[in-house]
Homo-oligomer: A and B are copies of this chain.
Amino acid sequence: MISYQSEGGVAVDERPVAPNVTSFDLKEYLAQRKMLVEAALDKSLPVVPPETIYNSMRYSLLAGGKRLRPILCLATCELTGGTLEMAMPTACALEMVHTMSLIHDDLPSMDNDDYRRGKLTNHKIYGEDIAILAGDGLLSYAFEHLALETKGVPADRLLQVVARLGRAVGAEGLVGGQVVDLESEGKSGITVEMLDFIHTHKTAALLEVSVVSGAILTGSAPDDIQRLTRYAQNIGLAFQIVDDILDITATQEELGKSIGKDVQAQKATYPSLWGLDTSRVKAQEMVDLAKDEIRIFGDLARPLMALADYITARTY
């Protein structure tokens, strides 16, 4: 049971029915949240000597993007009775970790990408050595920042966030997914199970901790954490299917990064296994499952409902 319910005395069965998400202005919500997150990110990392490394870290951290991970964290913190302020350092930490993974994935020895979000990748500007170090700096700073800057949250909850964030980045998460992704390149016979492994680790793990950390900060009940975990796992895989679709259908200008890379690299993708139409259907099914999980939170779940819809809306 989440905190506002125990305070408000609303019994579980009497929770309000699902909201009409079309009445929620997601565009305005995302724009406003993105602005808050970017202001906090900018403030979190001032440039001090040695300037090179801070400039490199800031170059990628402040390079735009949807800020989906911090926005999810802020949304679940509010949904479970918390404030934006108490979640913001964790939200920033999630974006730092995500940025680290993009910088390192783009390196010549990995995916060898020249463009990211319409800009040259970090190593194209700062060199491979500084790009590796900028990633290391962002990863360690993520933990430092959330441990030092979070106010009004008991230390044991923050420690849970530290542990979950660490797991989501490491060999059980991002790193493990990237390893299997690299190993599968150019191989034939990649199965849906292997693709699922790659993406539950490479994409869904960090989305999951983004969603769940907001609820951990407020001390949410295990049942609610479980619901939000399943919501996150479903939107995480849907998100990746949509990314694979966009790699085929979008133009470079729309996407802001090199496109058709998956095909060039002979990477197995969901569309290569299922075709485009079935991939769209599966992504929609996962979004629907995600929304079912959080219907019980009623009107308060509007942002998360709309965010789930937003993921598949990108493909049309």
Q: Which of A137, A158, A167 has the largest count of B CB atoms less than 10 A from its CB? A: A137
Q: Which residue of B lies closest to A132 (CB)?
A: B104
Whether A132 and B107, one on each chain, are in contact in the complex, defined by CB atoms closer than 8 angstroms, is yes
Shortest distance in angstroms between A315's beta carbon and chain B's nearest beta carbon?
Answer: 29
A182 to B133, CA, bound (A): 11
By secondary structure, the A interface counts as: helix
Whether B171 and A147, one on each chain, are in contact in the complex, defined by CB atoms closer than 8 angstroms, is no
Interface string of A127-144 (1 = CB under 8 A from B): 111101101110111111
Assembly stoichiometry (copies)? 2
A: which residues have CB within 8 A of B?
A: 50, 52-54, 57, 100, 104, 107, 109-110, 127-130, 132-133, 135-137, 139-145, 147-148, 154-156, 158-160, 162-163, 165-167, 169-171, 173-176, 178-180, 182-183
A162 to B130, CA, bound (A): 24
Whether A179 and B135, one on each chain, are in contact in the complex, defined by CB atoms closer than 8 angstroms, is no
Whether A169 and B136, one on each chain, are in contact in the complex, defined by CB atoms closer than 8 angstroms, is yes
Q: Which of A143, A145, A160 has the largest count of B CB atoms less than 10 A from its CB? A: A143
| Top-5 shortest CB links A-B | A144-B166, A155-B155, A109-B128, A140-B169, A147-B163
Whether B130 and A53, one on each chain, are in contact in the complex, defined by CB atoms closer than 8 angstroms, is no
Partner of A136, one of B129, B130, B170: B170
Which chain B residues lie closer than 8 Å to A144 at the CB level? 162-163, 165-167, 170
Whether A143 and B158, one on each chain, are in contact in the complex, defined by CB atoms closer than 8 angstroms, is no
Shortest distance in angstroms between A257's beta carbon and chain B's nearest beta carbon?
Answer: 19
Which chain B residues lie closer than 8 Å to A170 at the CB level? 136-137, 140-141, 144
Whether A53 and B175, one on each chain, are in contact in the complex, defined by CB atoms closer than 8 angstroms, is yes
Whether B129 and A143, one on each chain, are in contact in the complex, defined by CB atoms closer than 8 angstroms, is no
